[in-house]
Structure 1
Amino acid sequence: MSTVLLNNGKLVLPDRVIPNGEVIIENGMITLAGRLSHHYGRSADIIIDAQGGFILPGFIDTHSDAIEKELEPRPGAYFTTEVAFSELEKKLAGQGITTMYHSFSLAGAQYGVRADQVAAKCIRAIVGMARDYASIRNKIHLRFEVTNFEAVDIIQDLITEGAVDLLSFMDHTPGQGQYPTVEDYRRYLEKTYHLPLDEIGEILALKEQGRMKAGECVVRLSQEARAAGVPLASHDDDSADSISYYQQHGVTLSEFPINLPTAAAARRAGVDVSVGAPNIVRGGSTGKGMKAIDAITAGSANILCSDYYPPSMLHAVFLLADQTISISEAVAMATTAPAKALHLKDVGSLEEGKCGDVIIVRKRNNTPVVTNTIVGGIPVYGMNYRVTLPEDRAEQSAC
């Protein structure tokens, strides 16, 4: 493998920023991260000049529905898993995401990518493709709707096959969590799936039926996951009791707690708390959830994920660094914290002995852009911008 030198940048480490820093990657591993010219004349096959930008660890995205949108960008408009996976990977590399937990929901849908068998087929296809030919690190986050008892056997098979890297428990039954009333859930179904009233009624009835078996499903799948070493998460927790319940079943990560007291309770209990980067960038939740910035400011959230919009990871990190916390702390929320939470020992920071997953970020009119992405010492993305000097703009050529 080639030796890669990234230099002339602001090197962001977990505890400090080194100006004029550099990173050397040899045989896919970081062998040096420090000040410019500390490599003592070692030669490099590839030299990438950061041009004063930031040198960061590649982002680790623990939750993103982007693959579902790539597979079905419009209701009923499907693309093959091969096309969706290939195109999404290119986008993710350009957004600085070097480890992606593709989120698939087994929610008992009758159609679309959230139908149980469809989701399982896509998961198996992605696992196979990622094993053979990939530019970034691809993992599977399987989201289980706890009322969907018919999916338990499918999930057990996927865990046994080693196709699941993170399992989360969701409960979208009206009356708690993200949908405090039946009307809230009904509006969600109408807006998202454009369903007629009779179908919405059937879904609500099935959820009530499944609620009676939800506890049994959680017990069974949590035992399977823990035996296989698969980390567990809960979703949309709305109380300390919810945190406690899932923690008893091995959950160590709470995703998108609904309110600040719940997020605080999770952190006090030693549970990691993940909030959505789009919430940071947009200034709030799309629903009735808390503002993510409030949880971060209070020290009640430690992980960022992209939720439904992968580009938001990069922008949330730099917004936080500009307004709330240090750049090292903001970067850690997208790198070292998720790596620690999900037991990823080889990625997440720019330290000797870690895998060479590195990105370069530069500001373009105050907006951060990824110009280079390296995964395991292999450059997988590079972007150059055409620059026109002010005095030349009046006489631009056709090129």
Structure 2
Amino acid sequence: MIITNVQLVLENEVINGSIEIKDGLIRSMSDSSSQRPEAINANQSFLMPGLIELHTDNLEKYFTPRPKVNWPALSAMAAHDAQLIGSGITTVLDAIAVGDVRDGGHRQENLDKMIDTIIESGKLGLNRAEHFVHIRCELPHSGTVELAEKYLDLEQIHMVSLMDHSPGQRQFVNINKYNEYYQGKYNLSDQQMAEFEQYQRAQSLQWSGANRKAIAKLCREKHIPLASHDDATSVHVEESHSLGMVLAEFPTTVEAAQRSHELGLKVMMGAPNVVRGGSHSGNIAAHELATLGVLDVLSSDYFPSSLLDAVFKLASDERNALDLASSTRLATAHPAAALNLTDRGSVKEGLRADLMLVGRKANQAVIQQVWRQGNRVF
């Protein structure tokens, strides 16, 4: 396959030219147009690497689309996969929560089902994106270590993150934001919310510290990449670094982001934060970290199409030094490097042809075609 008259988004520049794909790999590139009659004319659209998503809980929405509605597993997986590939995401780590047993038990009930379905659908060749598993460990729970350990030997586990969403710290320093989020999520009365807050504080005090150290030790022994979550202070970051973290997910302050960057942790922020112009929890805005030069990775988190939107929004933001090539790296080359996925993440000869063709209409990025290993999947 040859694509010509295309803007190739390379690691450090964007050039107009052509590209040849063969046997699932990028065979060659040129800064001139191809004269071959079978070449696809891209009409000046952008050819970009397929996006690499490290943290999305989007799959849960399809397994439980409404309260007490459990959707058939492979159908749920297919719908989730279609949304991701339609958003340009060709490699994804589906984040599965371990230790959070609220939501009427849905997360706990669906835990094995979701992991089994990710594995089964991959083996059956049903997925258009390539799916791995990211275990999200909610630390303030008695069974978190035991549950996490159950899954850590699976070859599909590519990352583990450690998080504590208890009130008064990290993501929820602002108690009003904490109450707003959880009262909305669980439909709690003021009295129920006060009891929930007290319970979560007690659970965090009892379990969080010990669980953090135990799971980090297991991941180091098994060579599983480890991510911190919602670090807010230099002390948080230094602990994360000492425990072997390679990624800092969603630091909540400039202090934490800058210290993470200094210590070599890749700083990941939410693409919805970029698109909306700020954090829904009232924490640091991602564009501020981009301006400071300490933003390394983007994640779509809860809204898959936000990843590509954020890439283009950052590239057009005059407050930072990012052009399209460098903003694209935040969702492609950098997450690939964080997980040592050396065969993808860039438009480069010899790498996998995980690619997407993107046009622009009314200042909106529009995905026209997507390929994974040279096969068209969208």
Query: Which residue number in structure 2 is paired with residue 317 of structure 1?
Result: 311
Contact preservation (8 Å) 1:149, 1:214: no
2:135 to 133, 142, 149: 142
Q: Please tell me whether residue 63 in structure 1 is matched to residue 60 in structure 2.
A: no
Q: Which one has a bigger Cα radius of gyration?
A: 1
Contact preservation (8 Å) 2:225, 2:246: yes
Contact preservation (8 Å) 2:103, 2:186: no
Query: Which residue number in structure 1 is paired with residue 324 of structure 2?
Result: 327
Contact preservation (8 Å) 1:123, 1:163: no
Paired amino acid for 1:108: D
Query: Which residue number in structure 2 is paired with residue 345 of structure 1?
Result: 342
CA distance in 1, matches of 2:109, 2:240: 26
Query: Which residue number in structure 1 is paired with residue 69 of structure 2?
Result: 77
Contact preservation (8 Å) 1:166, 1:232: yes
Q: Determine helix, strand or coil for the equivalent of 1:348.
A: coil
Q: CA deviation at 1:132?
A: 2.1
Specify whether residues 210 and 279 from structure 1 end up closer, same or farther in structure 2 by C-alpha distance, changes over 3 A only.
Answer: closer
CA distance in 2, matches of 1:131, 1:65: 21
Specify whether residues 24 and 308 from structure 1 end up closer, same or farther in structure 2 by C-alpha distance, changes over 3 A only.
Answer: same
Query: Which residue number in structure 2 is paired with residue 298 of structure 1?
Result: 292
Specify whether residues 327 and 184 from structure 1 end up closer, same or farther in structure 2 by C-alpha distance, changes over 3 A only.
Answer: closer
Paired amino acid for 2:207: K
Specify whether residues 114 and 159 from structure 1 end up closer, same or farther in structure 2 by C-alpha distance, changes over 3 A only.
Answer: farther
Query: Which residue number in structure 1 is paired with residue 360 of structure 2?
Result: 363
> What's the CA shift string for 1:249-281, capped at 9, x where partnerless?
111111111111211111011110011111111
Paired amino acid for 1:265: R
Query: Which residue number in structure 2 is paired with residue 26 of structure 1?
Result: 22
Contact preservation (8 Å) 1:108, 1:114: no
Q: CA deviation at 1:148?
A: 1.9
Query: Which residue number in structure 1 is paired with residue 184 of structure 2?
Result: 191
Paired amino acid for 1:272: K
Paired amino acid for 2:73: T
Aligned length: 373
Query: Which residue number in structure 1 is paired with residue 86 of structure 2?
Result: 94
Contact preservation (8 Å) 2:98, 2:111: yes
1:8 to 5, 8, 14: 5
CA distance in 1, matches of 2:128, 2:121: 11
Paired amino acid for 1:48: I
CA distance in 1, matches of 2:153, 2:144: 14
CA distance in 2, matches of 1:17, 1:113: 48
CA distance in 2, matches of 1:114, 1:346: 36
1:115 to 103, 107, 111: 107
Q: CA deviation at 1:232?
A: 0.5
CA distance in 2, matches of 1:237, 1:217: 16
Query: Which residue number in structure 2 is paired with residue 176 of structure 1?
Result: 169
CA distance in 2, matches of 1:88, 1:122: 12
Q: Larger deviation: 59-68 or 372-381?
A: 59-68
Q: CA deviation at 1:25?
A: 1.7
Q: Please tell me whether residue 251 in structure 1 is matched to residue 245 in structure 2.
A: yes
Structure 1's unaligned 5+ residue stretches are: 382-399
Paired amino acid for 2:30: G
Contact preservation (8 Å) 2:18, 2:29: yes
Q: Please tell me whether residue 264 in structure 1 is matched to residue 281 in structure 2.
A: no
> What's the CA shift string for 1:42-68, capped at 9, x where partnerless?
x97xx4332110010001111112112
The TM-score normalised by the length of structure 2 is: 0.93
CA distance in 1, matches of 2:185, 2:309: 26
Query: Which residue number in structure 1 is paired with residue 153 of structure 2?
Result: 160
Paired amino acid for 1:339: A
Q: Determine helix, strand or coil for the equivalent of 2:77.
A: helix
Paired amino acid for 1:97: I
The TM-score normalised by the length of structure 1 is: 0.88
